[in-house]
Amino acid sequence: MSITNRIHFRNVKGDIFGGVTAAVIALPMALTFGVASGAGASAGLWGAILVGFFAALFGGTPTLISEPTGPMTVVMTAVIASLTAANPEQGLAMAFTVVMLAGIFQIIFGFFKLGRYITLMPYTVISGFMSGIGIILIILQIAPFLGQANPQGGVIGTVQNLPQLIAGINPLETLLAAITVAILFLYPSRFKKYLPPQLLALVVGTIIAVFLFANADIRTIGEISVGLPQLQVPTFSAEQSRIILVNGLVLGMLGCIDALLTSLVADSLTRTEHDSNKELIGQGIGNLVAGLFGGIAGAGATMGTVVNIQAGGRTALSGLTRALILLVVVLGLSQYLTGIPSAVLAGIAFKVGIDIVDWGFLKRAHKISPKAAIIMYGVIALTVFVDLIVAVGVGVFVANILTIERLSNLRAEKVKAVTYDDEEITLNNEEKQLLERANGRVLLFYLSGPMIFGVAKAISREHNLMNDYQALVLDLSEVPILGVTSSLALENAIAEAIEKGRQVFIVGLQGQAEKRLRKMGVIAKIPTQNILGDRVDALRQAVNYVDAHVVDLSTDTINSNSQAIG
């Protein structure tokens, strides 16, 4: 595996055009997310430049465009708000330390090849999580949409102060925000490939503010520092150390999910396959460097990635081009960005929040599955009003429990214990005749499919229903996987049979199931001649055994009677 991403110069024109187009979209979004996070427009721009450059250079998805995103901004907003409230002097520096830690965690995840597990979450959880983040982003734009600063307390603080926010509305700023949203909603789709609606809204809103509302009190993004950013020294506080570590882990995990989901979108558009572990390392390096130089965290951006691919981008050269164009803008043109109204950026962020909400699944989740709908709405509520990591943890736990229950019930149907012909088990004529001849003295225990831990109860139940037998035939020929809990249930059934003097025959033992039972010492308890590859042979031996046992019992009975008479 190469250290850097796949870069070649056979598609230079397409990659450069893709990079330029992605940069045009990235500029208003970087400004928007920088201001929305509380770190400032410069932090948003440097986050877009540094995360985008290093993720493109070292990542595993050639066409992925990485920059500050809505979900990452929501977490950054909460991190900055909590740390600056606790420590006004060093809070922002500690927030950038959180970004560095997020990058380090992502590098660790990639190094230990955890990429393929990151997105193994039920869609109900992902949908609820992303919709919750979209709702948070919408709520957080209410105050700047109305021309005011965000109150303390995040989402809950905004909701509680809603009457005061409405009472103190700034009509001109609200008008600018409304115009911005209207442009974004009404912009014809056929023109998007020529001019992104976000850039148009940014330009139109700024022109209106500068020329029509020149004498009005309208808040702008303010000064953007010219020149290279200052190095941020990692800053910790004993009181906030736990919060910093936890937030770093949350931000890193969210960045992994955000990036890899976008990588899947890129794969579907380019008919390629990304390297998830390498992508996590690239994302981690990007966020680590961004934190070191005062940029907010970023991840794979769906909008920028799709536009890049549609414009012709096919290698990491497009992502590098985009980052270099933004660098030129920051170093040479940043003085022209200072007059952009905050309300316009609030309108753009408001539309991003609406786009993040999974409206399609929200409308039909209850029709697909009531349980799925409950999980999704529960994750949304936890995401908005409690905590992001709690929402994901609870959602995944509940979804997995329900899935395990369904799988266990399905697999339990494949656990059958019969002493006579049973329509649910396919038996040939000889097997039917042998069971009929045994007359209930031979128990055929048939298992099929993966025996996960939820099936252990079914194994014990089926075995306990059958008590009056003399030989046990255990058919494992269709069991590819035998879980530990199910293995213990089988061990108990076999041990009980042996203790009661019954013969045990095992059929079709192979692969992982054989290794598991051998390691547990179960096979050692069974005579070698009783381990067979064919069920008919096992039934023959079992029937011969019980027939001989009946003869032995009859002989013992005759001898006992003779001795009593004598």
pLDDT tens for the chain, residues 1 to 566: 566 666 777 888 889 999 998 998 899 999 999 999 989 899 999 999 999 999 999 999 999 999 999 889 999 998 998 899 888 888 899 999 999 999 999 999 999 998 877 767 788 888 888 899 899 999 999 999 998 888 887 888 888 999 999 998 999 999 999 999 999 999 998 888 778 888 899 999 999 998 888 788 888 887 777 778 888 888 887 788 888 999 999 999 989 999 998 998 898 888 888 899 999 999 999 999 999 999 999 999 988 998 899 888 999 999 999 999 999 988 888 877 888 899 999 999 999 899 989 898 888 888 878 888 898 999 999 988 887 778 878 888 887 777 767 766 665 565 666 666 565 667 788 888 888 888 888 888 888 777 766 666 766 776 666 677 888 888 888 888 888 888 888 888 888 888 888 889 999 888 888 888 888 888 888 888 888 888 889 889 888 988 887 655 444 443 444 444 44
| Residue whose entry in the numeric block shows the structure tokens 């250079």 | 57
What size, in residues, is the chain?
Answer: 566
CA dist 102 to 42, 72, 126, 226, Å? 20, 11, 20, 27
Contact 399, 125 (CB under 8 A): yes
Check whether residue 336 and residue 428 sit in a common domain: no
Which residues make Cβ contacts (< 8 Å) with residue 392, sequence separation at least 6? Answer: 121, 125, 129, 253, 379
Domain with 263, as residue range(s), is 13-187+200-218+239-351
| Residue whose entry in the numeric block shows the structure tokens 């982003």 | 137
H or E segment and range at residue 474: strand 471-478
Check whether residue 27 and residue 100 sit in a common domain: yes
DSSP track, 27-66: HHHHHHHHHHHTS-HHHHHHHHHHHHHHHHHH-S-TT--E
Q: How many Å from the N-terminal Cα to the C-terminal Cα in the chain?
A: 90
- Tell me what pLDDT residue 411 has: 57
20 inside domain: yes
225 inside domain: no
Strand 66-67 versus strand 299-300 pairing type: antiparallel
Helix/strand/coil for 281? helix
Measuring CA to CA, which residue among 555, 554, 556, 526 is closest to residue 542? 526
The whole-angstrom separation of Cα 483 and Cα 452 is 5
Contact 61, 306 (CB under 8 A): no
- Other residues' Cβ atoms within 10 Å of the Cβ of residue 183: 21
H or E segment and range at residue 532: strand 531-532
- Tell me what pLDDT residue 463 has: 62
Q: Which CATH number fits the domain that encloses residue 488?
A: 3.30.750.24
Check whether residue 419 and residue 301 sit in a common domain: no
The whole-angstrom separation of Cα 391 and Cα 396 is 8
- Sign (positive/negative) of CA torsion 289, 293, 299, 302? negative
- Tell me what pLDDT residue 11 has: 83
Token readout for 412 is: 């339990």
Check whether residue 92 and residue 183 sit in a common domain: yes
Based on the structure, what is the number of domains in the chain? 2
Pick the last residue of a domain from 300, 335, 351: 351
155 inside domain: yes
168 inside domain: yes
The whole-angstrom separation of Cα 13 and Cα 137 is 36
Pick the last residue of a domain from 351, 386, 403: 351
Which amino acid makes up residue 182? A
The whole-angstrom separation of Cα 280 and Cα 63 is 15
| Residue whose entry in the numeric block shows the structure tokens 């996070």 | 37
Pick the last residue of a domain from 351, 379, 395: 351
337 inside domain: yes
Question: Exposure string (b/e) for 68-106, b if CB count within 10 Å is 16 or more?
Answer: bbbbbbbbbbbbbbbbbeebeebbbbbbbbbbbbbbbbb
- Tell me what pLDDT residue 464 has: 64
Token readout for 67 is: 């920059």
Check whether residue 138 and residue 18 sit in a common domain: yes
Which residues make Cβ contacts (< 8 Å) with residue 509, sequence separation at least 6? Answer: 476, 517, 523, 531
Which residues make Cβ contacts (< 8 Å) with residue 333, sequence separation at least 6? Answer: none
Contact 200, 184 (CB under 8 A): no
Count CA atoms within 13 Å of residue 229 on its CB side.
25
DSSP type of residue 232: P
Burial (CB count <10 Å: 0-12, 13-18, 19+), residue 394: middle
DSSP track, 423-471: TTS---HHHHHHHHHHTTSEEEEEEES-B-GGGHHHHHHHHHH--S-SE
331 inside domain: yes
Strand 503-507 versus strand 531-532 pairing type: parallel
Check whether residue 514 and residue 441 sit in a common domain: yes
Check whether residue 347 and residue 474 sit in a common domain: no
378 inside domain: no
Measuring CA to CA, which residue among 228, 247, 252, 226 is closest to residue 237? 247
Alpha helical stretches, state H, 334-387: 342-356, 359-368, 370-385
404 inside domain: no
Measuring CA to CA, which residue among 508, 506, 545, 536 is closest to residue 523? 506
Has this prediction a pTM greater than 0.85? no
Which residues make Cβ contacts (< 8 Å) with residue 456, sequence separation at least 6? Answer: 483, 485, 486, 488, 489
H or E segment and range at residue 415: strand 415-418
